[in-house]
Chains A and B, each alone.
Chain A
Amino acid sequence: MNDSLGWGAITGHILYQFIPVFAALAITFALSIWYKRKLGLYGKLFDSNIGIIGLALVLFWLYTAFFAGVFDMIATHDALDQSASMKKKLPGTPYSKLIGTVDPNAGPYYLLGGDNLGRDVFSRMIAGSIKVILIAPFATVFAFMVGITLGLPAGYYGGRFDTMLSFISNLVLAFPVILLFYLLVTPEIVLTGIPVYMAAVLFIFPIIFLVILWNSRYRQQVRKRNIYVAITLIIGLWLYLGIAWDADPMGIVGFPPNLLVVFVSVVFVNSPTVFRIVRGLALDIKTRDYVAAAQTRGEGPWYIMLWEILPNARGPLLVDFCLRIGYTTILLGTLGFFGLGLESESADWGKMIIDGRKLLSANILHIAIPPALALLSLVLGLNFLADGLREESLRD
């Protein structure tokens, strides 16, 4: 039987576990700083302290999720493995098991202690990052696709179409997010199939977006356009069938229904805000002379929206993209906090926090604090990154 570790040793062990992440970070930073003058806005980020810190935090979790999810590194234990003798044990307690055999590959210590069911807090925290890194950015991308595809014409055309869409988006925005989650993200709603229909509507937008994009760009070069559109449609519809309808004819692509509902609700909540931002930007940019120039040479409205307006709105959109991933992370945590849309045991930062909260009054801090700090650092990183981007894109 080993002795418990002291705080110094715990820190050492944790740092050791993260070595692949630090190595990846170091390589990325070295390369980026070396080539920073050639990397445009990304390179300029390295001139701003807050941008560097933000990027480091975000990349840290990205690499952690990557190494943990793909190579099964970093985590010391299985996130779901319970051990009765480890319940509520303090950080640094040596790993033991009352029933069953000790997994020989598992680490010798619970670095951040055990939770109320005797699972390793450190490993659960790492496992939680995988889910966040998988869902948050993709949900944000989808929200942007929806927001852009609807916001551009709303801002560009204005009129009745705009009034209607703005009304709908205000409708969603006036709705308290948590109430919406409580209504949407329940097993009962999954049974009705509503999430699938919502997914069917929301996920078609990226395909629409890309098809319009190619069509407007290569309207004059029919052959080129047909190739691009065909490729988009084949790949897009295949993914679409798999993800939204779970009906991939080849059976490769699929999406677990309880995760789908989480994903759909997060996209649904984020899209109206993106819509509003894009609409505002389109309203502003459409008064520029280069838009008028495009109009006077007879460009179609979608070409103007996607190739003249959208690229010039990229600065604010990029900043908002970072902020929105952070916000989505917070939303995912909120869902977990209320125990919505989760398998009962899965490792989720929000769920871990609320579980740990119950033990705070018993002076057991090590269960709630690690996931809280993990979530905090990721969101903080994204916010810093957004701030750095904003600052650097405003300069010269």
Chain B
Amino acid sequence: MSKLQEYEGPILEIDGLSISFFTRLREIPAVMDFSVEVQPGEAVGLVGESGCGKSTVALGVMQDLGVNGHIVGGTIKFKGRDLSEMSREELRDIRGNEIAMIYQEPMASLNPAMKVGKQLIEVPMIHEGIGEKEAWQRAMDVVRDVKLPDPERILKSYPHQLSGGQQQRIVIAMALMSKPSLLILDEPTTALDVTVEAAVVELVRDLGKKYGTSMLFISHNLGLVLETCDRICVMYSGEAVETGSIGDVFDRMQHPYTQALFRSIPLPGADKNARPLVAIPGNFPLPHERPPGCNFGPRCDYFEDGLCNSGTAIQMTEIEGDDRHFSRCLKFDSIDWNAPVAAAIQTQAVSKGEVVLKMDNLKKYYEVAANALFGAGGERKVVKANETLSFEARESETLAIVGESGCGKSTFAKVLMGLETATEGQITLDGNSIEQIPIEKRNTQTVADIQMVFQNPFDTLNPSMTVGRQIMRALEVFGQGESDEERHNEMMRLLDLVKLPREFAERMPRQLSGGQKQRVGIARAFAGGARIVVADEPVSALDVSVQAAVTDLLMEIQRAKKTTLLFISHDLSIVRYLSDRVMVMYLGHVVELGSTDQVFSPPYHPYTEALLSAVPIADTSVEKKHIVLEGDIPSAMNPPSGCPFQTRCRWKSEVPGALCEKEVPPMRELSNRHQIKCHLPEETLSLMEPVIKIAAE
């Protein structure tokens, strides 16, 4: 059982690949006429929105399409051999040995009932027939390579005993056990926190170089692809629309979809008033409802009737002068790619009004059983979910609350909404304190004033009630309208407000796309004329092109209704784009608070600095300072002593006397309302350099 013979030429050659899934009703083409090649040592990024077929390509390479999926055309050649002509035994020899795969959910891809070590040593034992001892030794080496501390202990633990970041490293280690020539990564970091993601991405890149592995990197995130790959292939609705080197595609794109994609993501320099995002109009076509001709046609700014929808399949065309740069557009050489964005509507910044909401020293502690299964009656632990939160929010203001998992942003939202009551401190709404009033005791007006938009579009609507009825119900509860008829009319107006067709009132949530559901969620939140809206990661589960549209909608309604928006997010790009002020949270503490400009430029809190550096930015002209945090976010059940961030802080040595480990730093004001919770002396802070620099063009 050895590797295939050395082969000169591309590691992976996919040529004209078409994959379909067959259901009871019809054939659903998932991938059509897809071609890509991966050279030895090369990393190719596969980018597209959900449902564009990028994961199907990966599974096609693995020849693991399930019962319903079939390759209906084209070839996949690995080191010159056609994978679909291989026997089962041959395929088994290749899987894990020559081609390895890493998936999105690390927890789900490790066997919960098997120790990590056993899962690792299995790979070389199957493929190279080596003994258990030797395999164990190899596992130790690889685990050390993925920078996990104490390999011996890790190998002897069960997956659930490791943190998310550690699990993903184990998955990577497992993929590298047999030193494969091709590594397929399917959204390997989507389930991880930003700072952990940054470390994993760096690891993958370094190991790829060290082991000389070629990579196929699947992601929806252009920034990540920029950081990891040499070449990129953009997919839309089952087809590759543009492929080329990173430099060519990012800076000299030759397909309208690629251009639209870039225009819809908030890059540094975008601004909600001066340079708003441009959303891609319309919706992603369903696989069985693709338009004739160009799939992107109906949503394209350059659409030309009679040409783009003429019905014949459009072929990839090579762009002269670039390195293997192809585009699937009939008009690419007639489009002026450097023309400025025309469609965006610039708006005036709205002036901020009175303080509406004020938090003063808010604390929320939970008591939880120390042991979940045998709890109840056992020891109890106090989890400090929120520590001394203080801030103000004004009318028409957008306050962003930024932080990773466990930072306490959801708890804060719950207390504000009245689903929980505060342990200490005060929340005042128009001068009345509400922190101790649970929601059932609040009057209708207060409840209607503070509303929420939820994160997961697939979960935010009751699946067994029509869209219209759900909005009507909200109107009813908020005491809007005198009769059913009035409420019905009001509901229609709300649908107009969120730019949904009125017919949607009769639809069930499952007939709506993610973005549409999120719009309904927004309509529902504004049903009682909400003045404060808490948006909990409202767009993070949506596709890039839809994100822009939903964000813009939210901004538009905010401008019209003078709403105070509390925007909870972990995505600093979008925060920078839309917020007026930013509050950064870590393990229940507010570590930094200030206007967007203050927070995004030095001096930073060390955590903010790391967070900024961790966010991938899809812009080749941006230079980022490289800061990678060690380890994972500590558990809120068991926070470190002193400053919550001290375990991962790179500036810790600058503070004399191990103060960071002993005391929680006080909140102090640096300049005009810019607050920061850090022991670092003024001088050190002033030495900080900007993390993100835009290179002079």
Any B CB within 8 A of the CB of A308 = yes
A293 touches B521 (CB 8 A): yes
A220 touches B477 (CB 8 A): yes
Residues in A neighbouring B72, C-beta threshold 8 A: none
Residues in A neighbouring B476, C-beta threshold 8 A: 220-221
Any B CB within 8 A of the CB of A49 = no
B464 touches A296 (CB 8 A): no
Q: A289-B454, A290-B459 are in contact. Are A298 and B447 (CB under 8 A)?
A: yes
Q: A296-B417, A296-B451, A298-B439 are in contact. Are A311 and B465 (CB under 8 A)?
A: yes
Q: A47-B24, A220-B476 are in contact. Are A295 and B439 (CB under 8 A)?
A: yes
B474 touches A297 (CB 8 A): yes
CA distance A299 to B521 in the complex (A): 16
Any A CB within 8 A of the CB of B440 = yes
Residues in A neighbouring B462, C-beta threshold 8 A: 290, 294, 307-308, 311-312
Residues in A neighbouring B450, C-beta threshold 8 A: 296
Residue of B nearest to A290 (CB): B462
Any B CB within 8 A of the CB of A193 = no
CA distance A47 to B444 in the complex (A): 48
Any A CB within 8 A of the CB of B273 = no
Least CB distance from B487 to A in Å reads 10
B456 touches A289 (CB 8 A): yes
Q: A220-B479, A289-B459 are in contact. Are A312 and B439 (CB under 8 A)?
A: no
CA distance A295 to B418 in the complex (A): 9
Least CB distance from A50 to B in Å reads 15
User: Which residues, 409 to 463 on B, are CB-close (under 8 Å) to A?
Assistant: 417-419, 439-440, 442, 444, 447-448, 450-452, 454-456, 459-463
* Most B C-beta atoms less than 10 A away, residue of A47, A288, A307: A288
* Most B C-beta atoms less than 10 A away, residue of A292, A294, A299: A292
Least CB distance from B486 to A in Å reads 12
- 16 cross-chain CB contacts under 8 A: A289-B460, A290-B460, A290-B461, A292-B454, A294-B462, A295-B419, A295-B439, A296-B419, A296-B447, A296-B450, A297-B528, A298-B439, A298-B477, A308-B462, A312-B463, A312-B464
Any B CB within 8 A of the CB of A300 = yes
B464 touches A293 (CB 8 A): no
Give chain A's interface secondary structure class. helix
Any B CB within 8 A of the CB of A358 = no
Least CB distance from A162 to B in Å reads 11
Residues in A neighbouring B455, C-beta threshold 8 A: 289
Residues in B neighbouring A97, C-beta threshold 8 A: none
Q: A220-B476, A290-B460, A293-B454 are in contact. Are A300 and B447 (CB under 8 A)?
A: no
Q: A220-B477, A298-B444, A298-B447 are in contact. Are A314 and B464 (CB under 8 A)?
A: yes
B460 touches A293 (CB 8 A): yes
B447 touches A297 (CB 8 A): yes
User: Which residues, 279 to 317 on A, are CB-close (under 8 Å) to B?
Assistant: 288-290, 292-300, 307-308, 311-312, 314
- Which interface class (under 10, 10 to 19, 20 to 34, 35 or more) fits A? 20 to 34
Residues in B neighbouring A299, C-beta threshold 8 A: 477
Residues in B neighbouring A221, C-beta threshold 8 A: 476
CA distance A293 to B538 in the complex (A): 13
Residue of A nearest to B419 (CB): A295
Any A CB within 8 A of the CB of B524 = yes
Least CB distance from A287 to B in Å reads 9
Least CB distance from A14 to B in Å reads 37
> Chain B 646-659 against A: per-residue CB contact (8 Å), 1 yes, 0 no?
00000000000000
Q: A294-B462, A297-B448, A297-B524 are in contact. List 11 more A-B contacts (CB 8 A).
A: A47-B24, A221-B476, A289-B455, A289-B460, A292-B454, A293-B521, A296-B450, A297-B528, A298-B444, A299-B477, A312-B464
A300 touches B440 (CB 8 A): yes
CA distance A297 to B474 in the complex (A): 7
Residues in B neighbouring A311, C-beta threshold 8 A: 462, 464-465
B460 touches A296 (CB 8 A): no
Any A CB within 8 A of the CB of B478 = yes
Q: A296-B417, A296-B419 are in contact. Are A288 and B477 (CB under 8 A)?
A: no
CA distance A289 to B417 in the complex (A): 14
CA distance A297 to B444 in the complex (A): 9
Residues in A neighbouring B440, C-beta threshold 8 A: 298, 300
Residues in B neighbouring A312, C-beta threshold 8 A: 462-464
User: Which residues, 55 to 106 on A, are CB-close (under 8 Å) to B?
Assistant: none
> Chain A 301-345 against B: per-residue CB contact (8 Å), 1 yes, 0 no?
000000110011010000000000000000000000000000000
CA distance A295 to B461 in the complex (A): 13
CA distance A300 to B439 in the complex (A): 10
Residues in A neighbouring B478, C-beta threshold 8 A: 297
Least CB distance from A39 to B in Å reads 15
CA distance A293 to B217 in the complex (A): 37
Least CB distance from B344 to A in Å reads 32
Residues in B neighbouring A314, C-beta threshold 8 A: 464
Least CB distance from A396 to B in Å reads 8
CA distance A234 to B576 in the complex (A): 62
Residue of B nearest to A301 (CB): B440
CA distance A297 to B526 in the complex (A): 11
Least CB distance from A49 to B in Å reads 13
A293 touches B524 (CB 8 A): yes
CA distance A295 to B439 in the complex (A): 8
Residues in A neighbouring B24, C-beta threshold 8 A: 47
Residues in A neighbouring B479, C-beta threshold 8 A: 220
User: Which residues, 460 to 494 on B, are CB-close (under 8 Å) to A?
Assistant: 460-465, 474, 476-479
Least CB distance from A145 to B in Å reads 20
Residue of B nearest to A395 (CB): B24
Least CB distance from B75 to A in Å reads 32
CA distance A113 to B418 in the complex (A): 73
